[in-house]
């Protein structure tokens, strides 16, 4: 018997442009001890469908127009807010996509963890704390006595996600809804979280509804898959049925976008553009403390025209190294040579001149774009700052940039919040290209994008790299992405380079145990 039966769910939103039907007659089941995955691109209605079940969509502007959602003999869609509040966190729990925005920064992990026990079970605090400690240990958080009193900002991304899982499970729910729980996590941490959910699912007899745009992850863990496009279910079935014999063109499009294959380097005569020698970036937490060695004696070369992939877990020093090359992070030792010139000590106008030749694409385009600047203003700023063109030429140059990154000219007066994640990333790429740089640091530029948008951005970067003769440092924790785009690969661990070589060498004959563990954690092995 199904734990949850959703039939003909319909949800709409009232917008300034009229009524938008976000969910159009969606139906699916979740069985005990089984995992049902809902996949699709952003805007397909995945999260809205699940949020509607728990009364988590704002009404208005949201509205449930029809359907049923039977759980334990009750139709969730007909329950009052008071009745739903009694179910949420007790019988049905949810793991949200971004734990940092869902956790209260003013409360310790322990305080937030015992809150559901106090609210739903009226447990005395001493008993609640004992149970919380045991659960922190169960989800793989070391030293629960210490971490109980820690605040969210003191946890890594993976540890915060474990804390969220613990909060979801503290009341032993029968249904767990996980909304993109592994997005932007390292491949090794992702593997740990997925293993943890699977173990807890069997141990506690839990049914899981798993929302994701990552088909490789879903291929590894799902018992049943529901494919959504523009608010509708277009196909559903077992992983074997969908991945080996997909019927709907949209499902086939998603499968075709999975990063596969391996880039074959076209660099025949390597000529270094950037030389890094014993680079260090150490941070000193206090006067007497030991330094945090974010980058520790790193030496490498980046050749003209190549894409160098940089991989490693969060905290390994990848982003700090990339920012250090551009003088956006402090350098406490060693040197960086760009085209024969040492840039380590450059300051003022001389550094500004070099900055024109070196640009960065940040991980989160929404955070890196000024919300008060239109596309036109965003692209115009570096052009005018570096005197690349006159004001009379500005419109023509901006139009060319928009063409290069695949943005319609009609977008020119729009603001960042009016775009999708993929479109915002194209704007960020256009801004980086505006100065006609020789070198770009791309820091996790596709980590949070849908698989189809991710494929588009990767193709765009490779095409622009060839057209402009760009040299690129591509930072990622996604090994499949690195394999597709990089000519060479370097692996970082705890601030040091532990392995480097051609993409073929690193992926097919890794020498270091750490590299081997990264490769072993790649999800969806059967798809590659």
Query: What topology is assigned to 303-330+337-527 in CATH?
Result: Rossmann fold (3.40.50)
Mean pLDDT of 156-181: 81
> Would you list the domain boundaries of the chain?
4-91+173-256, 103-172, 303-330+337-527
Determine which helix (DSSP H) or strand (DSSP E) holds 119, and give its type and residue range: none
Q: Do domains 4-91+173-256 and 303-330+337-527 have the same CATH topology?
A: yes
What's residue 212's pLDDT?
A: 87
User: Per-residue pLDDT for 1 more than 80?
Assistant: no
Coil/strand/helix, residue 483: helix
What's residue 286's pLDDT?
A: 54
Mean pLDDT, all residues of the chain: 86
Q: Is 274 exposed, middle or buried (0-12, 13-18, 19+ CB in 10 A)?
A: buried
What's residue 200's pLDDT?
A: 77
pTM of the model: 0.79
Mean pLDDT of 482-508: 92
Identify the residue with better confidence: 204 or 506: 506
What's residue 337's pLDDT?
A: 93
User: Per-residue pLDDT for 80 more than 60?
Assistant: yes
Mean pLDDT of 240-253: 90
What's residue 135's pLDDT?
A: 80
User: Per-residue pLDDT for 61 more than 80?
Assistant: yes
**How far, in whole angstroms, is CA 484 from its chain's centroid?**
18
Quickly state the pLDDT bin for 528 (edges 50, 70, 90).
Answer: low
Determine which helix (DSSP H) or strand (DSSP E) holds 134, and give its type and residue range: helix 125-138
Mean pLDDT of 408-436: 87
d(CA 197, CA 206): 10
* DSSP string for residues in 186-249: -HHHHHHHHHHHHHHHHHHT-EEEEEES-HHHHHHH-SEEEEEETTEEEEEE-HHHHHHH--SH
What's residue 389's pLDDT?
A: 87
pLDDT in tens, 292-327: 888 999 999 999 999 999 998 877 889 899 999 999
User: Per-residue pLDDT for 261 more than 80?
Assistant: no
Quickly state the pLDDT bin for 235 (edges 50, 70, 90).
Answer: very high
Quickly state the pLDDT bin for 15 (edges 50, 70, 90).
Answer: confident
User: Per-residue pLDDT for 526 more than 60?
Assistant: no
Identify the residue with better confidence: 213 or 421: 213
d(CA 135, CA 138): 5
% of the chain exceeding 70 in pLDDT:
96
Q: Is 140 exposed, middle or buried (0-12, 13-18, 19+ CB in 10 A)?
A: middle
For 4-91+173-256, CATH gives 3.40.50.300
Q: Is 151 exposed, middle or buried (0-12, 13-18, 19+ CB in 10 A)?
A: middle
């Amino acid at each position: 018997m199904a734990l949850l039966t959703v039939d003909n769910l319909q949800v709409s939103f009232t917008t300034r442009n009229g009524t938008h039907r976000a969910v159009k007659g969606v139906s699916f089941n979740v069985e005990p001890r089984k995992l049902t995955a809902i996949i699709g691109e952003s805007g397909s209605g995945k999260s809205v469908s699940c949020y509607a079940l728990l009364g988590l969509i704002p009404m208005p502007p949201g509205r449930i127009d029809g359907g049923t959602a039977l759980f334990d003999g009750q139709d969730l869609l007909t329950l009052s807010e008071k009745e739903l509040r009694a179910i949420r966190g007790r019988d049905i729990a949810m793991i949200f996509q971004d734990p940092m925005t869902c956790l209260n920064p003013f409360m310790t992990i322990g305080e937030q963890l015992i809150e559901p026990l106090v609210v739903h079970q009226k447990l005395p605090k001493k008993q609640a704390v004992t149970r919380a400690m045991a659960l922190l240990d169960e989800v793989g958080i070391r030293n629960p006595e210490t971490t109980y009193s820690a605040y969210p900002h003191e946890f890594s991304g993976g540890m915060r996600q474990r804390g969220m899982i613990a909060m979801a499970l503290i009341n032993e729910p029968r249904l767990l809804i996980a909304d993109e729980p592994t997005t932007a996590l390292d491949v090794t941490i992702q593997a740990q979280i997925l293993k943890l959910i699977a173990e807890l699912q069997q141990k506690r007899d839990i049914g899981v509804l798993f929302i994701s745009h990552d088909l490789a992850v879903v291929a590894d863990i799902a018992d049943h898959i529901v494919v959504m496009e523009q608010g509708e279910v277009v196909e559903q079935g077992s992983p074997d049925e969908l991945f080996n014999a997909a019927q709907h063109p949209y499902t086939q499009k998603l499968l075709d976008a999975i990063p596969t294959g391996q880039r074959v380097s076209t660099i025949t005569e390597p000529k270094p553009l950037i030389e890094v020698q014993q680079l260090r970036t150490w941070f000193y937490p206090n006067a007497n403390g030991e330094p945090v060695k974010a980058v520790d004696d790193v030496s490498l070369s980046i050749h003209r025209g190549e894409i160098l992939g940089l991989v490693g877990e969060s905290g390994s020093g990848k982003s700090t190294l990339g920012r250090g090359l551009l003088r956006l992070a402090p350098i406490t030792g060693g040197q960086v040579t760009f085209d024969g010139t040492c840039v380590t000590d450059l300051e003022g106008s001389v550094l500004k001149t070099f900055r024109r030749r070196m640009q960065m694409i940040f991980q989160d385009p929404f955070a890196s774009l000024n919300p008060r600047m239109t596309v036109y203003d965003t692209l115009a700023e570096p052009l005018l700052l570096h005197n690349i063109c006159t004001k009379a030429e500005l419109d023509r140059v901006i139009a060319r940039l928009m063409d290069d990154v695949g943005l319609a000219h009609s977008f020119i007066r729009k603001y960042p919040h009016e775009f999708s994640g993929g479109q915002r990333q194209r704007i960020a790429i256009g801004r980086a290209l505006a100065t006609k740089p020789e070198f770009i640091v791309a820091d996790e530029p596709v980590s949070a994008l849908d698989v189809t948008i991710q494929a588009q951005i990767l193709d765009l970067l490779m095409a622009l790299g060839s057209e402009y003769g760009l040299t690129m440092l591509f930072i990622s924790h996604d090994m499949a992405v690195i394999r597709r785009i990089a000519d060479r690969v370097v692996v970082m661990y705890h601030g040091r380079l532990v392995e480097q070589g051609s993409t073929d060498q690193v992926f097919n004959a890794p020498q270091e145990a750490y590299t081997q563990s990264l490769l072993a954690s790649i999800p969806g092995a059967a798809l590659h």
